[in-house]
Structure 1
Amino acid sequence: MWDRIKHKFEKFPARMAVARKIVELGLRVGENGKIYLDDVEINDVALARSVNVDRRTIKSTVDVILADPQLSEIFQNIHPAGTLLKNIAKNLGFGVVEIEADAGNAGIIARSTELISIEGLSIRQAHAGDPELEEHPKLTIITEKPVKGNLINEFLKIPGVKRVSIY
Structure 2
Amino acid sequence: MWDRIKHKFEKFPARMGVARKIVELGLRVGPNGKIYCGDVEISDVALARGTGVDRRSIRSTVEVIMEDPELASIFANIFPAGALLKNVASDLGFGVVEVEAQAGTPGILAKATQLISQENISIRQAHAGDPELEENPKLTIITEKPVKGEMIQKFLDIPGVKRVSIY
Give, in whole Å, the separation in 1 of the partners of 2:83 and 2:2: 24
Superposed CA RMSD in Å reads 0.5
Partner residue of 2:118? 118
- Normalization by structure 2: what TM-score? 0.99
Correspondences of 1:1-167 after superposition (within 5 Å)? 1-167=1-167
What's the secondary structure of 1:136's corresponding residue? coil
- What percentage of residue pairs aligned between the two structures are identical? 77
Give, in whole Å, the separation in 2 of the partners of 1:80 and 1:22: 10
Deviation at 1:3, TM superposition (A): 1.5
Give, in whole Å, the separation in 2 of the partners of 1:63 and 1:90: 43
Q: How many residue pairs end up in the alignment?
A: 167
* Structure 2 gap ranges (5+): none
Give, in whole Å, the separation in 2 of the partners of 1:90 and 1:118: 22
- Normalization by structure 1: what TM-score? 0.99
* Structure 1 gap ranges (5+): none
Structure 1 residue runs of 4 or more that deviate by more than 4 Å after TM superposition: none
